[in-house]
Chains A and B, each alone.
Chain A
Amino acid sequence: MSKRTSRIESARTDAARASVPGANTGEILTKDEAEAIARKVLEFADPAADTVVNVQLSNAQNTRFSRNEITTQLDASLGQVTVTSMMNGKTANGVTQRFDDDGLMEAVRWAEDATKDGPGEHGTSRLVQPRDYPVPPGLWSEASRAVDIEERIERAVSAIERTDGFVSAGTLDLTVASMLVANSAGLVGYCRSTNGSLSLSARTSDNTGSGWAGKAIYDFDDLDGSAIANRATDKAERSRGPQAIEPARYTVILEPDAYAQMIFFMMQYHMDLASAQSGFNVWAAPGGGTKIGQQVFDDRLSFVSDPMDAAGPFCPFNPVGVPFNRTYWVQDGILRNLSYGDDTAVERGEDYPLANPVAVRLQPKEGTQLATLDEMIATCERGIYVTRLTTLFADFRLLVFTGVTRDGTWLVERGRITRPIANMRYVDSHMYFLNNLEMIGEPVLTAGGSFVLPPVRSRDFNFTAIADAV
């Protein structure tokens, strides 16, 4: 029996001795259970109103560790019902965490009261008509749902044990969730998902080297704790004793996780057509209109959201049932679509709005020669290899970011990594470096989930200062 197994065994015995009942985790609502709640809400609702109801129940498990020890273990169960009421040309939401009749009625009343006699103009909101939604492949894993506390801890421990000799901190998360949407036109959609991740930072004992690695999964069986820990400790070891280099523009090799946050900020805050038309986001064209139809990124790149994406599936509808169809926001470098509401959908004679799932794949064009990170290094004359960046808006309107490198940054010279370098501050944006591409890799799901991004090698990344702390 291995040391680890015996520890777990003894922990199990301890728990049994404490006669703790086997409380279950990982419970969600089946379609029938959620639909019964939704039907009640629709019964409570004013028949004169158009009503949408969204029922969610999720269970999130989490094991957190610091200084090579588990510090907290969590289990959070969250239920929520959102009622959207549309009446008198107005729309309002009532939200409750109660699933009992009184709570549901309260939410209905909140929403309906707000649509009565209120001041102000609202945009158009029509009900989505009944339809079927596809079931995204791999979004639900029975193995993930069935994970119990012991298995979760065992997986976390398998990572922590590989960090002996380093100082490690990290988190293992696993969330099981169900969502149902129904409306008074008869629409019913149901989606369930399992999402998890393990990410870990490791430092060398002399506190000069730091490494990070992480992975998002849908199926718990895909989570290899020791592999993630090995990547982090390897980076920590190799980044020990870094030396500063002159901040300047350098070629960079970016791991996908390094720039995932930038893509998130773009998808979250800058994909709305109306804002672009009125000039308030990055896709406003100088002088008027939007940049739709213009080349905005390297022509080898497309941004596509697809709930059926095998690497990064997501629920195929938004909270009020608007379907997420496969959508090219950017196709071969040209901006094609921005999200819009129902006013625009009505103008265009469409049945429903174009909704933004804030999940996207950055897909290289077919026929593009894809490179591995090793190939990017091997063919690089001089550049910087970046594991991870902190990311904050420097200019919200122009989508420019600032932050620092962290957890593994190296100088690449004549085709090989030659030495670790001190962290540096940058001011840059994927709006620039995805137009200065030298090489593109195979897109992978990033550790935060939702974004499937390739590693890239890009020219002239703007490092502005030394930030030499670890």
Chain B
Amino acid sequence: MTWSRRDFLRTGSAFAAAGIVGFDAALLADPYEAARRYRPFRPLLQDPDVRAIAGAALDAAKAAGARYADVRIASGTTRTTIVVDRQVSTQAIEGQLNFGVRVLVDGAWGFASSTIVTEEEAARVAQLAVRQSSLNPWGKTRTLELAPAPVVPDGQWETPIDLDPWNYTIQDQLELQLEANEAIMQVGETKALAGVRAYSWFEFAKADVVFASSEGSYIAQRFHNFGNIYAADAISEDRMLFGSSSPESFKTGGYGWEAIDGVPFAADAEQAVDDAIMMMNAKEPDVGRYDLVLDSSAVSAAFNTTIVQALEFDRVLGYEMHAGGTSYLAPPEEVLGQFSFNNPKLNVRATGSAPRAGGMYKWDVEGVAPADYQLIREGVLVDYFTTREFAPQLEWWYRRNGMPVESRGTAGSQASALIQVVAPSIAIMDPGEEDVTVEEMIAETEDGIYIHRGGFASVDPPMLNMQFTGGDMAHEIRDGRLGEPLNRPSFLSSTPDFWRSMDMIGGAGSFAYSGGGTFKGDPFQQIGRTVGAPAARFREVNVFTYGRR
């Protein structure tokens, strides 16, 4: 045993000597005095200690034989409050402080992470990562050359928000949240029902992440995010029927305090409860083939699960065969430039920047800025989401088409203590050039269903066969007009058939961003990313229902 966590824990004095980030050696014997004087954790962005710790990790990795190393150090705080009806069920503040070192000696990545953020531990963990990478008995058979990337010696960025939520207290947060729930409860109590439940989960997260690489990049980013749930749930008197609705004023993503301050929760509560009750009483759709009009949020849900995730190059190669799944957009040499959805209306691109997008970053977890680029052009596959590890495998395609052989800046991870994987940046399905509205699509639909406010898709492992279930709302369309509400219509399709059947696409006015993301890896990672899409119409889709009674 070399330097040991055990020794570290035994001797209080070790804390000062080890140079714990943010540690104040003046905090002394009297715990109450110390507690009164405690100061919040120092931000990482300009912290010289952090630079030293990152340097210690990289130096140790290089000295131990790594030909490449990167380190991510994260310090974050998350404030969570959950209120069910009028009762506070959870209030918590959670601090994160950890780091992960990734190294390449031979052909396998070595990765190690820890929650003790000191120079000594950084060196230990880096050496451990090198051992992980060098002990691969097959390492030499797998060649792994990283695509070149610009060195960013002093990068800084922060998610743009209006009001810093950390200038407000957990009590301020609860006050607004209790008001929001109260609004739903008061409306609910005026309706004759077995029950209306108000459920809210507000979570502000702030994370400072420093990335440093053996190539000389040093990047500090501060991420803000606001989540998660605010809903009115209604249950019928016999308690067999259920409806749920989120007030439209409720936003999640790259927001600060402005997400909840001055928002008309009370004004929206009545509508939310009425919507929940309406959906609770909604009838089942008749099984059959229908033309479907999907609003932006429903298109986004289908888009995220059946196209965006299928464009992740590690899935394409089979690296996720055992975990997140494979992709129908494979093998690359047979599908790039050749696979077509046979629909020129389908254009998909990625961007690094979108207003209020959740999961937005200026540099990815490999220190690469996300590219603005096209992935599907007029229905034809032209590129993937890649990382520095995978981009060189597409060199043949990139060279042929005069495209750069470099990562598209779409590496991600759920936390700095987890290894980098391919994760989309912000994926966008382009709206149509003409400004077609949802209303116009409905007006031109004879016998159809309008699915709005989200939904979710279940796909088979290669994402080739999909079953989509409507989200919070759906309505019949009869002769160009909205009819009765419908309870969660579902439809079945193959992914290519579904996108080929898209015959009308909404204009910029119907375009919006929604929550998306990817689920993969082992250990499993869930990486949230906003996706954007317009509304659209799909012809002759097989609709069915589960039935509820």
Contacts and interface: CB of A to CB of B under 8 A. Distances in A.
Interface of A: 4, 7-8, 10-12, 14-15, 18-25, 27, 29, 33, 36-37, 40, 43-44, 60, 62, 64, 66-67, 69-80, 90-103, 105-111, 113-114, 117-123, 149-150, 153, 157, 167, 169-171, 173, 199-201, 203, 278-280, 284-288, 390, 392, 394-395, 397-398, 400, 402-404, 406, 423, 425, 427, 464-470
B40 interface: yes
B22 A102 contact: yes
Contacts of B194: 279, 288
B87 A123 contact: yes
B322 interface: yes
Contact of B6 (A27, A76, A171): A27
Interface in B1-33: 1-2, 4-6, 9-10, 12, 15, 20, 22-24, 27, 31-32
Nearest to A120: B88
Interface in B194-244: 194-195, 197, 233, 235, 237-240, 242
B79 to A, nearest CB: 9
A8 B138 CA distance: 9
Interface in B393-421: 417-419
Nearest to A116: B171
**B125, B239, B242, B317 pick with most chain A CB within 10 angstroms:** B239
Contacts of B4: 24, 27
Contact of B135 (A73, A96, A395): A73
Contact of A60 (B98, B135, B242, B523): B523
18 contacts: A21-B2, A60-B523, A75-B129, A92-B170, A93-B92, A109-B38, A110-B95, A119-B175, A120-B83, A120-B87, A121-B87, A171-B522, A199-B322, A280-B235, A287-B237, A404-B458, A465-B467, A469-B328
A23 B128 contact: yes
Contact of B115 (A8, A19, A80, A120): A80
B281 interface: no
Contact of B136 (A11, A96, A427): A11
A114 B319 contact: no
B469 interface: yes
A102 B20 contact: yes
Contact of A169 (B31, B197, B233, B318): B318
A101 B34 contact: yes
Nearest to B134: A15
B317 A73 contact: no
Q: Is the interface of B mostly helix, strand, loop or mixed?
A: mixed
B318 A66 contact: yes
B257 interface: no
Contacts of B233: 280
A200 B323 CA distance: 10
Contacts of B329: none
A121 B235 contact: no
A95 B78 CA distance: 9
Contacts of B134: 11, 14-15, 18, 20
B65 interface: yes
B24 to A, nearest CB: 6
B10 A33 contact: yes
Contacts of B22: 102
Query: Which 7 residue pairs are nearest across A and B when measured between Cβ atoms?
Result: A7-B137, A73-B132, A18-B65, A169-B322, A95-B94, A93-B92, A110-B93
A170 B322 contact: yes
B108 interface: yes
B74 to A, nearest CB: 10
Contact of A469 (B91, B127, B321, B461): B461
B110 A102 contact: no
Given A20-B131, A110-B95, 8 more contacts: A18-B105, A76-B100, A105-B35, A122-B88, A169-B323, A170-B322, A171-B322, A288-B239
A96 to B, nearest CB: 5
Contacts of A29: 9
Nearest to B121: A77
A282 to B, nearest CB: 11
B41 interface: yes
B460 interface: yes
A397 B280 CA distance: 12
Nearest to A392: B458
B235 A470 contact: no
B64 interface: yes
Contacts of B461: 390, 404, 406, 469-470
B492 interface: yes
A241 B9 CA distance: 58
A95 B92 contact: yes
Interface in B119-150: 124-125, 127-139, 141-142
B98 A97 contact: yes
Interface of B: 1-2, 4-6, 9-10, 12, 15, 20, 22-24, 27, 31-32, 34-35, 38, 40-41, 64-65, 83, 86-98, 100, 105, 107-116, 124-125, 127-139, 141-142, 169-171, 174-175, 178, 194-195, 197, 233, 235, 237-240, 242, 317-323, 328, 417-419, 456, 458, 460-462, 464-465, 467, 469, 488, 490, 492, 522-523, 544, 546, 548
Contacts of A78: 98, 113, 115, 417
Contacts of A392: 456, 458
B108 A400 contact: no
Contact of B133 (A60, A73, A98): A73
Contacts of B197: 278, 280
Contacts of B237: 287
A10 B109 CA distance: 18
Contacts of A66: 317-322
A62 B12 CA distance: 32
Nearest to B199: A280
Contact of A153 (B135, B458, B462): B135
B88 A75 contact: no
B178 to A, nearest CB: 5
Contacts of A8: 137
B487 to A, nearest CB: 10
Nearest to B88: A120
B462 A469 contact: yes
A100 B20 CA distance: 8
Given A21-B127, A97-B98, A117-B171, A76 B322 contact: no
Contact of B460 (A44, A71, A278, A469): A469
A118 B91 contact: yes
Nearest to A22: B2
Nearest to A274: B84
Contact of B492 (A20, A98, A114, A425): A425
B339 to A, nearest CB: 15
**B27, B96, B132, B523 pick with most chain A CB within 10 angstroms:** B132
B24 A402 contact: no
Contacts of A423: 460
Contacts of A284: 239
